[in-house]
Amino acid sequence: MILGERVLDVAFTDLITSPDGLAHSTITDPTSGRTIDVWQERGLMHVFTSDTVTRPRASFAMEPVEVMTNSLNRPDQAAAIRLEPGARRSFRFGATTNLETP
What pLDDT digit, counting tens, does each position of 40-69 carry?
999 999 999 888 787 767 778 899 999 988
pLDDT band, residue 90 (cuts 50/70/90): very high
Region 57-82: mean pLDDT is: 89
Q: Sorting pLDDT into bands at 50, 70 and 90, what band is 1?
A: low
Mean pLDDT of all residues belonging to the chain? 89
Residue range 83-101: mean pLDDT, rounded:
92
Q: How confident is the model at residue 2 (pLDDT cuts 50, 70, 90)?
A: low
pLDDT of residue 30: 86
Residues 10-42 as b/e (b if ≥16 CB within 10 A, e otherwise) read ebeeebeeeeeebbebeeeeeeeeeebbbbbee
Report residue 60 CA to chain centroid gap.
Answer: 11
The pTM (predicted TM-score) of the whole model is: 0.80
